């Protein structure tokens, strides 16, 4: 199938779903024309354009010039945060499950120059090194029904936040202050929980697991978590699980007897079931009655020096298999990023402003959610290029 026909097939495969979802967004737009162009933009993100920027989306949609499409990301009057709320509600309605997992993670957007909002030389997991890029913090949702992205926040480095001239040029709102990535993540998680998103667990990598403020906020809500940490992470011990003191995650792993490790699958992967050895080590009771704090260590079955550590907060009667499944759900956000960048152009924008970035990211997540829900309704796995077949 040729590329153009593949794009047409992709849009047709989810056509009814696109119309329903974009139609529900009409109240968020001041003018009917703005809403109509935004709906075209979402269809374009799912369509034939080789790159999902304003010029190519407009051309694929039959526009004589790109300005109407480009206005969707700058001058058109609409509320991106309200559309984000609609996106979140849509995902919950279609994919929500009481055992769902909220996943926090970040991804990089490589950029040239110095004018794109938030851009600087910083570490990007996407590049695997320091590079000139923007960093977006995202909140994903995964359940037995499917997975999707439900929120986004652009990380604004401190030097950007404190530079009034650059802020003004990029249209950064006056009330936006410097916030760490964990703080951005916490705001998104709390907004999701306040909105009623059904989530049994919150998971994330060590950038977020090492942040005590984030952990304590989740504990205060009685929200279970399994957050990755480094082996050097200290954890307080307390009776009946240990003498008063502190211990590092790596020390706990090194002292464990061979019999303490249990082989458990953390879910399906690209090559089938993902089996690892796990060490479960409670460290202290939680302030919430019937809950505890624990360390969880994952070891590769063959390469036994490959260890990964998590801090866990959960009820005392939680089975190990459930905790392991929650940790395993973290892979879903990597697939969300791969799908969002590969199929709906999350990283293919050509905007420099604060408003433009958030608007594009929001509409890209809407497009991805349409794919995810359509796949769930068809009972097929959502994979890269699945909708071009």
Question: Would you list the DSSP string of 341-360?
Answer: HHHS-TT-----SHHHHHHH
Please name every residue paired with 137 in a beta bridge, in sequence order, or none if there are none: 106, 153
For the stretch 146-180, pLDDT in tens is 999 999 999 999 999 999 999 999 999 999 999 99
Task: Give the C-alpha separation, 252 to 50, whole Å.
Answer: 51
Question: Would you list the DSSP string of 92-109?
Answer: HHHH--TT-EEEEEEEEE
Q: Per-residue confidence at 14, pLDDT binned at 50, 70, 90? A: confident
Mean pLDDT of 123-137: 91
Cβ 108 vs Cβ 116: under 8 Å? no
Please name every residue paired with 154 in a beta bridge, in sequence order, or none if there are none: 136
**What's the confidence (pLDDT) of residue 11?**
57
**What's the confidence (pLDDT) of residue 6?**
42
| Whole-structure pTM value | 0.93
Cβ 185 vs Cβ 178: under 8 Å? no
For the stretch 267-323, pLDDT in tens is 877 677 889 999 999 999 999 999 999 999 999 999 999 999 999 999 999 999 999
Q: How far is CA 252 from CA 25, 72, 159, 234, in A?
A: 51, 53, 39, 10
Mean pLDDT of 192-214: 98
Comparing CA positions, the residue from 123, 121, 118, 120 lying closest to residue 107 is 123
Q: How far is CA 330 from CA 60, 74, 105, 160, 197, in A?
A: 35, 33, 9, 30, 17
Is the model's pLDDT at 369 over the cut of 80? yes
Task: Give the C-alpha separation, 301 to 297, whole Å.
Answer: 12
Q: Per-residue confidence at 12, pLDDT binned at 50, 70, 90? A: low
**What's the confidence (pLDDT) of residue 334?**
93
For the stretch 31-87, pLDDT in tens is 999 999 999 999 999 987 888 988 899 999 999 999 999 999 999 999 999 999 999
Please name every residue paired with 160 in a beta bridge, in sequence order, or none if there are none: none
**What's the confidence (pLDDT) of residue 126?**
79
Q: How far is CA 128 from CA 122, 131, 157, in A?
A: 11, 9, 19
Task: Give the C-alpha separation, 328 to 324, whole Å.
Answer: 6
**What's the confidence (pLDDT) of residue 48?**
77
Task: Give the C-alpha separation, 146 to 37, whole Å.
Answer: 28
């Amino acid at each position: 199938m040729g590329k153009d026909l593949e794009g047409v097939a992709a849009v047709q495969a989810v056509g009814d779903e696109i119309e329903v979802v974009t139609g529900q967004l009409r109240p968020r737009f001041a003018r009917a024309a703005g809403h109509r162009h935004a709906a075209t933009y979402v269809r374009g993100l799912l369509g034939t354009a080789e790159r999902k920027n304003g010029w190519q989306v407009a051309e694929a949609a039959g526009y004589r010039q790109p300005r109407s499409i480009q206005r969707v990301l700058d001058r058109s009057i609409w509320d991106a945060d309200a559309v984000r709320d609609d996106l979140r509600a849509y995902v919950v309605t279609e994919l929500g499950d009481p055992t769902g997992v909220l996943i926090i993670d970040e991804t990089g957007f490589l950029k040239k120059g110095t004018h794109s909002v938030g851009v600087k030389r910083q570490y990007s997991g996407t590049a695997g090194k320091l590079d000139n890029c923007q960093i977006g913090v995202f909140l994903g949702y995964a359940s037995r029904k499917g997975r999707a992205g439900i929120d986004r926040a652009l990380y604004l480095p401190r030097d950007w936040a404190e530079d009034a001239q650059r802020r003004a040029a990029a249209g950064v709102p006056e009330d936006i202050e410097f916030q760490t990535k964990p703080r951005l993540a916490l705001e998104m998680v709390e907004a999701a929980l306040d909105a009623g998103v059904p989530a049994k667990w919150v998971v994330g990598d060590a950038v977020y697991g090492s942040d005590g403020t984030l952990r304590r906020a989740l504990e205060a809500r009685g929200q279970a978590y399994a957050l990755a940490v480094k082996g050097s992470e200290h954890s307080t011990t307390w009776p009946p699980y240990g003498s008063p003191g502190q211990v590092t995650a790596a020390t706990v792993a090194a002292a464990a007897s061979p019999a303490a490790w249990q082989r458990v699958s953390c879910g399906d992967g690209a090559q089938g079931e993902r089996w690892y050895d796990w060490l479960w080590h409670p460290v202290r009771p939680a302030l919430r009655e019937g809950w505890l704090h624990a360390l969880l260590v994952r070891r590769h079955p063959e390469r036994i020096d490959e260890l990964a550590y998590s801090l866990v907060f959960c009820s005392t009667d939680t089975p190990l298999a459930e905790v392991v499944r929650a940790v395993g759900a973290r892979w879903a956000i990597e697939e969300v990023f791969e799908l969002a960048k590969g199929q709906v152009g999350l990283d293919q924008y050509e905007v420099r402003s604060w408003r433009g970035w958030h608007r594009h990211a929001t509409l890209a997540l809407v497009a991805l959610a349409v794919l995810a829900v359509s796949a769930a309704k068809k009972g097929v796995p959502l994979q890269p290029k699945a909708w071009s077949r």
